[in-house]
């Protein structure tokens, strides 16, 4: 009789309904799906659309499926690093084509800003690897203002802002990483 009671007790306590859903919080060891992570991200990061999150993380995780939120957060940070580096390359390419000294100066400011953002994101990845989530978030916070700083530099130049779509995507990718790390905490 006692073994049966212990079995029922074990089943009851391990059932998902044993703790209300509002109290259940994912941890870094919780199984993670891109869809579930993106649902959490859009709740905390209003600049990120669910479809953008799913398509970005889905493409990055198509070959290797992350086993938990920690791995998914690392993947998201790597995506942001990659985008920051690609933005740096695009800025250098545009600088080479530009003759206007004012616009070149704006590009130079953006190059510095994205170089700093890439460094901060690499530091965030290091902190994430060490499971120092608060430090990783602080580094991400420092990197997330790159688009605003870059746009601000171009306000003094006449004409269109040639990095608008890259800035927007970088901001959303950094926000995805931030949102996943917040959901771990």
pLDDT digits (tens, 9 = 90+) for 46-88: 889 999 999 999 888 777 777 789 899 999 999 999 999 999 9
* Within a domain: 1: no
* Within a domain: 162: yes
Per-residue confidence (pLDDT) for residue 156, from 0 to 100 = 74
* Within a domain: 11: no
Residue with tokens 């171009």: 154
* Within a domain: 7: no
Structural domain count, the chain? 1
d(CA 51, CA 89): 27
Per-residue confidence (pLDDT) for residue 24, from 0 to 100 = 35
Per-residue confidence (pLDDT) for residue 8, from 0 to 100 = 28
Three-class SS of the chain: CHHHHHHHHHHHHHCHHHCCCCCCCCCCCCCCCHHHHHHHHHHHCCCCCHHHHHHHHHHHCCCCCCCCHHHHHHHHHHHHHHHHHHHHHHHHHHHHHCCCHHHHHHHHHHHHHHHHHHHHHHHHHHHHHCCCHHHHHHHHHHHCCHHHHHHHHHCCCCCCCCCHHHHHHHHHHHHHHHHHHHHHC
* Within a domain: 20: no
* Within a domain: 83: yes
Per-residue confidence (pLDDT) for residue 183, from 0 to 100 = 87
In the predicted model, residues of the chain with pLDDT beneath 50 are: 1-29, 31
> The whole model's pTM is what?
0.79
Domain that holds residue 174: 34-183
* Within a domain: 9: no
* Domain of residue 79, CATH code: 1.20.140.40
* Within a domain: 4: no
């Amino acid at each position: 009789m006692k073994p049966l009671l212990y079995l029922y007790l074990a089943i009851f306590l391990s059932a998902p309904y044993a703790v209300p859903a509002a109290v259940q919080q994912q941890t870094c060891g919780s199984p993670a799906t891109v869809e579930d992570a993106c649902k959490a991200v859009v709740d905390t990061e209003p600049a990120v659309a669910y479809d953008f999150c799913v398509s970005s993380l889905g493409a990055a995780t198509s070959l290797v499926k992350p086993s938990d939120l920690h791995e998914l957060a690392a993947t998201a940070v790597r995506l942001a690093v990659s985008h920051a580096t690609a933005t740096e390359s695009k800025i250098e390419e545009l600088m080479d084509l530009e003759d206007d000294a004012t616009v070149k100066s704006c590009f130079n400011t953006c190059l510095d800003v994205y170089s700093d953002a890439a460094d901060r994101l690499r530091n965030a990845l290091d902190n994430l690897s060490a499971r120092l989530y608060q430090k990783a978030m602080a580094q991400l916070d420092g990197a997330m203002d790159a688009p605003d700083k870059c746009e601000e530099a171009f306000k003094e130049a006449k004409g269109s802002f040639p990095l608008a779509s890259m800035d927007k995507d970088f901001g959303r990718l950094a926000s995805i990483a931030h949102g996943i790390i917040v959901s771990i905490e």
